[in-house]
Every structure is written in C-alpha cells, then in structure tokens.
C-alpha cells in the first residue's frame, strides 16, 4: 500500500513536470507520510514570496499576492503567526455575500467596508477556514502540550481592508487576499481541498 501510494505521487509529480508546473516535492513527501490522497484542487502558499498558487490537478490556474503573519510563522495559539504544513479547507463561509462584506466571528454582519482607512483588521468578503492535518504540528496539541490546532486558532484565508499591504507579512496569522481574488477563488475551489503552507 505504501509503495503504491508513493509511486502514484511520483507519477503525479512527473506528470506535473511534463506540463511545466510543479507541486513541491516537500508537499508530496508529507502527503505520502500522511497517507492521504491528493485532492482535485490544491493551494500552495509560499510565505517567503508572499504568493499563493491555485492548482487544478497539475494545472496552475492562478497565482495570488497574499499577506501572512506579521510575526512570521509559528504553530502555537496566541502567537499571531501563520502555521506551516498541510491543511485542508474545513469550511467555506460567505457564499453570495456582496464584495467587502464585514464578517465578525465568521458571521455576516450585514455591514460593508466602504474603503476608508481603519485600525481594525477586518475579515471581508469570504472565509476559507483551515484545519491542520498534521497531529502535534498543526492539529491538536504539540508534544509539549501547547495548542497548535490551526482550526481552533481560527486560521482563515480571507479578504482584507489592507490590500495595499499584500505582498508583505502583515496579518495576525491568517492569509489575507485581495477581496475580488478571494471571491474568485471561493467560487472555484472545492471544500476539503488541500492547502500547503511553507517557506521556500
């Protein structure tokens, strides 16, 4: 079973290379260890370059400018850092909400951001709520008993009121996107799709 899974992943990687696009080897290796199948849609979040790639199979569909945690990367709760590793989209929230809708605690407030500057870190337009898949790393608690659960940390991909900061780390741990981009992605990506957050 293990050998078959590994061979399938290698074949998938070779197929991607032939098409001129690459899923990271580190991602494929982690998936082989987890024993989880690849999903049709995959997001690769490159914290180093502040970019996110959206794959449909081995085809690169889009690349988005993003913003990850201002405090860098890290797994622990209350660190305001972006967690690394394999995740999946646990919940999609905000379908049909107008552009720039303000969400509080994942609820549509019925209010709209009007484009004015504010000190608040607003969650806008759509939410893709992430769940870690690596126990002890981004799921549950660490070996030292620390809360490292991305889902319980409320790590989202969401629209932002600080679009001018996209391309640089500026969030409180979530992955921020341009509002029109997050709506476009939300409308295309399937629930439970894999998300790999890494430093290249």
Q: What is the pLDDT of residues 20-64, one digit of tens each?
A: 447 999 999 999 999 999 999 999 999 999 999 999 998 999 999
Residue 77 has pLDDT above 60, yes or no: yes
Please report which confidence band the pLDDT of residue 2 belongs to, taking 50, 70 and 90 as the band edges. low
Domain count for the chain, please give it: 1
Q: 3-class DSSP state for residue 163?
A: helix
Residue with tokens 């070996």: 143
Mean pLDDT of the chain: 91
Query: What confidence tens digit (pLDDT) does each residue in 127-170 have?
Result: 999 999 999 999 999 999 999 999 999 999 999 999 999 999 99
- CATH code, domain carrying 15: 2.40.440.10
Per DSSP, helices labelled H in the chain are: 2-18, 25-34, 179-188
Per DSSP, helices labelled H in 136-178 are: none
- In whole angstroms, give the CA distance from residue 86 to residue 81: 16
Q: What would the two tokens of residue 137 be?
A: 């790393």
Nearest Cα to Cα of residue 172 among 125, 121, 120: 121
Q: Which residues constitute the domain of residue 140?
A: 2-198
**Top-ranked range on mean pLDDT: pick from 1-5, 15-19, 131-135:** 131-135
Sequence-separated (6 or more) residues with CB below 8 Å from residue 41: 54, 55, 56, 188, 189, 190, 193, 194
Start-to-end Cα distance in the chain: 30
């Amino acid at each position: 079973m293990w050998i078959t899974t590994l061979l399938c992943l290698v074949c998938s990687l070779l197929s991607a290379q032939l098409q001129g696009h690459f899923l990271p080897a580190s991602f494929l290796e982690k998936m082989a260890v987890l024993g989880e199948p690849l999903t049709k849609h995959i997001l690769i979040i490159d914290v180093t370059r502040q970019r996110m790639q959206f794959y449909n199979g081995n085809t690169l569909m889009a690349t988005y400018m993003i913003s990850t945690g201002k405090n860098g990367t890290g797994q622990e709760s209350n660190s305001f850092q972006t967690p690394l590793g394999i995740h999946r989209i646990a919940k999609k929230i905000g379908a049909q909400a107008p552009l720039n809708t303000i969400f509080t605690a994942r609820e549509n407030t019925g209010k709209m951001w009007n484009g004015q500057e504010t000190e608040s870190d607003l969650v806008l337009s759509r939410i893709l709520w992430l769940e870690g898949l690596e126990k002890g790393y981004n799921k549950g608690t660490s070996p030292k008993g620390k809360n490292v659960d991305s889902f319980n940390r409320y790590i989202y991909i969401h629209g932002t009121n600080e679009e001018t900061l996209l391309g640089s780390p500026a969030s409180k741990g979530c992955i921020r996107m341009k509002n029109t981009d997050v709506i476009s992605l939300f409308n295309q990506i399937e629930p439970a799709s894999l998300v790999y957050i890494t430093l290249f």
